[in-house]
Structure 1
């Protein structure tokens, strides 16, 4: 009995250990140590041994303690390590390590500001190139467009200016047709004309006006052939004056024939005189005006020695001058003024300077006419 009681007492201690045995439940994971169950299977005797062995199992929890250090818990730290790897994403600073590329972006200009975003760093070079090409294409396009606009504006201005000039020149052309009555006679035919170095050998010449013919038609002012030639532009009015040189040796009649022709007609006649050299033909010499009671009263058709005829292409006017001797001598071999003023000419007409008188007086009267035309329209005549 006592033994039984003792045995009964023995079990109580194992009953007490099972309470602590509850904690070893976590030790259950070491089920891989299944041999312990094999030890339990032997029977009740083994229970005593198990109980006896139970105390050493308490250190087993210590072994179980390492089990918490088993991979599950460390696995959580590796997750932390993964999380630690996530911060390395900001470790994109290695991309700044590729900062030379951003530097290239800075070389491109404000685009360097875009280098803060890591993905674009890979695209900066191509983007930079595109920007460069875009920047190059844009100025070139602007240049082309600007040049086109400027060219168009210049062309428009040129066309407009040309049109304005055409309108102005046409208006000036029409206004010039009435200068014979709008301009004072002393302006058309000054009382005295000065020709500095206008004579033979560069000598000075001076001419004084001695007569002014009343304005009239062209009926008897020209020989038949010249009248037929000038008929292409018509005759609006003819004004004339006669001058003598200061030595009273030569006499010159200068005339202004105001035509009815249009600008095209005047240009056509001007070109014809040039091409056919009509100015040099002795059968186209203008008539002289020698009123009685003046130094020019003996100046007639037989005394004409040198002449010039000028058809103005920009004004409805024909300017002419014809020169002879005051003494009324007859001239059998007249010369065009252009020929008589050439160097080396030894004819009487040339040596007397009659060609210089005709040219000099015509030049100055023509210049005065142009001045009058300029004053009429307020613009210079080319």
Structure 2
């Protein structure tokens, strides 16, 4: 008997059952669970060939993404053609109400509580007092409009004219006489060589028309502007050796007509023509008693375009001497003038009074204008 230890018995692994052949009989039993079916692999899109580099050797063009296609909309169904039964493939939507169903998009019925909360607008009853007040306002408005139109027609001012221009048309009867023709006029540096001058008023002419106060030819030139009133005053200097008549002619023309008249005088130089020289005002018992047409030595005339007025001044000697060659103020005040009116300073006198008279009118019509 052997004394060596005996190794324990190791169980043998079970024998692997052979696979059932494909041609196994139908009645053969196989307890092996079936393997799950392998899903088919998705189709792999064909590989897009890489973009070829441009011929110049630059960077390759970016790849364009594949365009996604959408199903085309169905063509409109001709009239009279029956509606297709299967709407899943046509894309049509049937909005025909079905029996027992409400109309599509129909609003929900309102309950009685909604009707009670709704505010109803009731007509306001007419009041006799309101009707009468509206009629009175209408009559007053029409009266104001008619009054404004009548005033515009009477004064001859166009619509939209400045207030100062309209106010200037009434200065002849609204402005004080001492404002239009001050008793004393101071002319600083108004004489020859910049000398100061002073003139005193010695006569006032009553307001009149233009028929007898102007030369007929000058009146015909100013006729398009019309003549409302003509105001005149005569002054003398401190030495009582010269006299000057200042005239303010108020017209009926509008602003555009005055602008046209002013342009004509400047273009044609009508203010320098001797046959258009204004006439003086000679008052008896004064230093200007002998101041007539033959004694006129110099003159100045200005047509205003911001006021309906024409301003002029005509000067002469106080001793009544006649002047054979009167000279306009623009020529008598020029450098180197040697005529008698120029040497006596009569051109400076006429020009100074014209400028100061125009400045006074502007100051009266436009309060913001500084008077000289």
TM-score, structure 2 normalization: 0.58
Q: 1 CA distance for matches of 2:215 and 2:165?
A: 27
**Pairing 1:221–2:213 present:** yes
Q: CA RMSD in A?
A: 2.6
**Pairing 1:347–2:339 present:** yes
Query: Out of 190, 198, 201, which is 2:190 matched to?
Result: 198
Moved over 4 A (4+): 166-169, 378-381
Q: 1 CA distance for matches of 2:258 and 2:164?
A: 14
What residue number does 1:211 align with? 203
What residue number does 1:53 align with? none
- The structure having more radius of gyration, on CA atoms, is 1
- Equivalent runs, 1:42-57 vs 2, <5 Å: none
State the secondary structure of the residue aligned to 1:358: helix
Query: Out of 266, 284, 289, which is 1:274 matched to?
Result: 266
Equivalent pairs counted in the alignment come to: 229
Query: Out of 292, 297, 322, which is 1:305 matched to?
Result: 297
What residue number does 2:276 align with? 284
Offset from partner CA, 1:230-264 (integer Å, 9 cap, x none): 00100011111110011101100001101001111
State the secondary structure of the residue aligned to 1:330: coil
Q: 2 CA distance for matches of 1:244 and 1:215?
A: 20
Q: 2 CA distance for matches of 1:342 and 1:348?
A: 13
Q: 2 CA distance for matches of 1:369 and 1:380?
A: 11
**Pairing 1:373–2:328 present:** no
Offset from partner CA, 1:63-95 (integer Å, 9 cap, x none): xxxxxxxxxxxxxxxxxxxxxxxxxxxxxxxxx
What residue number does 1:50 align with? none
What residue number does 1:183 align with? 175
> What displacement does 1:329 show?
0.8
Q: 2 CA distance for matches of 1:330 and 1:275?
A: 31
**Pairing 1:248–2:248 present:** no
Q: 1 CA distance for matches of 2:240 and 2:369?
A: 38
Evaluate the alpha carbon distance shift between residue 167 and residue 261 of structure 1 in structure 2; reply closer, same or farther with a 3 A threshold. Answer: closer
* Contiguous gaps of at least 5 residues in structure 1: 26-165
Q: 2 CA distance for matches of 1:167 and 1:190?
A: 34
Q: 1 CA distance for matches of 2:196 and 2:346?
A: 14
Query: Out of 160, 166, 173, which is 2:165 matched to?
Result: 173
Evaluate the alpha carbon distance shift between residue 379 and residue 350 of structure 1 in structure 2; reply closer, same or farther with a 3 A threshold. Answer: closer
Evaluate the alpha carbon distance shift between residue 168 and residue 208 of structure 1 in structure 2; reply closer, same or farther with a 3 A threshold. Answer: farther
TM-score, structure 1 normalization: 0.56
